[in-house]
A and B are shown apart, each in its own frame.
Chain A
Amino acid sequence: MNIVVLVKQVPDSGSERNLNADDKTVDRGSASNVINEMDEYAIEEALRIQEAHGGEVTILTVGPEQATESIRKALSMGPDKAVHVVDPAMHGSCALATSKVLAAAIGRLNPDLVLSGAESTDGRVQAMPHMIAERLGIAALTGARKLTVDGSTLTVERQTDEGYEVLTASTPALVSVWDTINEVRYPSFKGIMAAKKKPVETLSLADLGIAAEEVGAAGASSAVLEAGKRPPRQGGVKVSDEGDGGVKLVEFLASEKFV
């Protein structure tokens, strides 16, 4: 089973994140950038399926030059190769345009299975898997906490607000995963060394048959008009428990009409 794993480089959610003042795109220059955490679980799941069923695992990333770091890091976990779609015209692309580029790149690789994180920590939109599946006309099984592969049949437990749903589909399909699906391995030293030599193919928009004006700020279907920092929350009253902390807490809640 050949698997493509979608990997996005995002600003570290543990550090301060900003939008660029000029064009209001995500500031990827000053932030420390990492692999979107949920995507690491998708890589892990791909490697486990490969170990059980064979085939090849390919990392697919759309992003600026600097995303190469994340691609090498992803490869150090064990995938065979990577495809990096990089084109200056992509800067400022909306989700819709990004999905067009990803779908075109996936179409070229023609995998049995596409795996991705359920959402990214920067956008948190959860839209990409269904946008891609809609474009490619393949099944989408999203929000997986468990994935079983039996020949060409996929079964997923999809986490929902109320519990879970059991989904099935045949390959080719796209599965997006939550961090509950597995435990991610740490790259070994050998893996890190091997990753440096693994093939990374670079593709431009022209290679994918997509015109520059279909993507980027020019081709965007939505626009950020203004952006500002939210005033940070101010801490209020802090009391030490002198044996009456619970009562004081309830007195506060009562003053705010919560009890």
Chain B
Amino acid sequence: MSEILVVVEHSGGAVKKVTLELLTLARTLGEPAAVVLGGPGTASELTDRLGEYGAAKIYAAEHADVTGYLVAPKAAVVAKLVADTSPAAVLLASTQEGKEIAARLAVKLDNGLLTDVVDVAADGTATQVVFAGSTIVKSAVTRGLPLVTLRPNSVTPAPAPTTPQVSTVDVQVGEKDKLTTVVNRVTEQKGSRPELTEASIVVSGGRGVGSADNFKLVEELADLMGGAVGASRAATDSGFYPHQFQVGQTGKTVSPQLYVALGISGAIQHRAGMQTSKTIVAVNKDPEAPIFELADFGVVGDLFSVVPQAAEEIRKRK
């Protein structure tokens, strides 16, 4: 069976959920081979988890240069693997870095690229949701192999345990891939919450939350439900919540099982980032707010009384 290269995303010694989705998808296309890119010792921490989700092979590309420079060394390693192993497809996560590696691969291999894909059929045809979730497109790479980035939360990860065969990749990074040095990586308020784009539940606050202090209400509800916290652009522009949590056209696109919109009117800018969520609930004091056109369940009311009551009710039921 032909190999499907899956470029692994990991953080703090753990495989990211989107990679488990990629492995699950890869199994429908061929034999998954996970590509681990990182500093020395990275792959050994990830092997068990990758095997649990069906990675028959692991290519361990471990070198200080892989993480010491931005993206280019990773693309160089994957391009060499493609040349050496002739895979049937290359799958990456549709994250900032995944898309950037894919972009460089596309140029290096003179190969078509499909991004923000939500599904790939056995023949390599990809499904994409574009224009803020309003349009569905079926597309295919017509030059080269299917080079695809998958949007997080598109596939339900399913285990298929196997023992991966680990091979070490000889990493050689040329000077032209060392032009941008990563001087420092800073983690900001990670905490125990799941990552926004990967979370099954996202609780977001908007202009109606009113202040940075009041965002504690949003955080409290998110924590009770094990969800991530998001914010509308109105909220991040007003300084209520940090920009990296912005959901919308100019922020993150999320597609969780449940999206809770608190004090968010639902401007098209915001809808662009969340309207493919499976279930949407909203609390807003304006009965005409467009968010209610999307919401499976909406409460017209003051979030400062509805949300604490909901939090209390969840505690009672626990």
Contact of A235 among B143, B292, B302, B305 (CB under 8 A): B292
Cβ of B196 and Cβ of A250 under 8 Å apart?
Answer: no
Q: State A143–B96 Cα separation when bound (angstroms).
A: 8
Q: At the interface, yes or no: B13 with Cβ under 8 Å from chain A?
A: no
Q: At the interface, yes or no: B171 with Cβ under 8 Å from chain A?
A: no
Cβ of A228 and Cβ of B225 under 8 Å apart?
Answer: no
Q: At the interface, yes or no: A109 with Cβ under 8 Å from chain B?
A: no
Which residues 44-65 of A sit at the B interface, judged by CB distance below 8 A? none
Q: At the interface, yes or no: A237 with Cβ under 8 Å from chain B?
A: yes
Q: At the interface, yes or no: A208 with Cβ under 8 Å from chain B?
A: no
A17 to chain B, nearest CB (A): 5
Q: Which residues does chain B contribute within 8 Å of A220, judged by CB atoms? A: 112, 142-143
A98 to chain B, nearest CB (A): 11
Which residues 250-286 of B sit at the A interface, judged by CB distance below 8 A? 250, 253, 257-258, 268-269, 272, 275, 279-281, 283
Interface range on chain A: under 10, 10 to 19, 20 to 34, or 35 or more? 35 or more
Q: Which residues does chain A contribute within 8 Å of B133, judged by CB atoms? A: 230
Cβ of A245 and Cβ of B139 under 8 Å apart?
Answer: no
Q: At the interface, yes or no: B99 with Cβ under 8 Å from chain A?
A: yes
Cβ of B100 and Cβ of A127 under 8 Å apart?
Answer: yes
Cβ of A125 and Cβ of B301 under 8 Å apart?
Answer: no
Q: At the interface, yes or no: A149 with Cβ under 8 Å from chain B?
A: no
A66 to chain B, nearest CB (A): 19
Q: At the interface, yes or no: B103 with Cβ under 8 Å from chain A?
A: yes
Cβ of A18 and Cβ of B135 under 8 Å apart?
Answer: yes
Instruction: Tell me the count of chain B residues lying within 8 A, CB to CB, of chain A.
Output: 94
Q: At the interface, yes or no: A94 with Cβ under 8 Å from chain B?
A: yes
Which residues 212-259 of A sit at the B interface, judged by CB distance below 8 A? 220-230, 232-233, 235-241, 243-250, 252-254, 256, 258-259
Interface majority SS (helix, strand, loop, mixed), chain A = mixed
Q: A221-B110, A238-B298, A258-B258 are in contact. Are A142 and B142 (CB under 8 A)?
A: no
Q: A134-B104, A138-B179 are in contact. Are A17 and B131 (CB under 8 A)?
A: yes
The 3 A-B residue pairs with the shortest CB-CB distance in the complex, in nearest-first order: A241-B301, A246-B309, A221-B112
Seen from chain B, the residues whose Cβ lies within 8 Å of a Cβ on chain A are: 11, 70-72, 75, 95-96, 99-100, 102-104, 106-108, 110-116, 125, 129, 131-144, 176, 179-190, 195-197, 201, 225, 243-244, 249-250, 253, 257-258, 268-269, 272, 275, 279-281, 283, 287, 292-302, 305-314, 317
Seen from chain A, the residues whose Cβ lies within 8 Å of a Cβ on chain B are: 13-14, 16-19, 24, 37-38, 94-96, 99, 121-122, 124-131, 133-135, 137-143, 145, 155, 158-170, 173, 178-180, 220-230, 232-233, 235-241, 243-250, 252-254, 256, 258-259
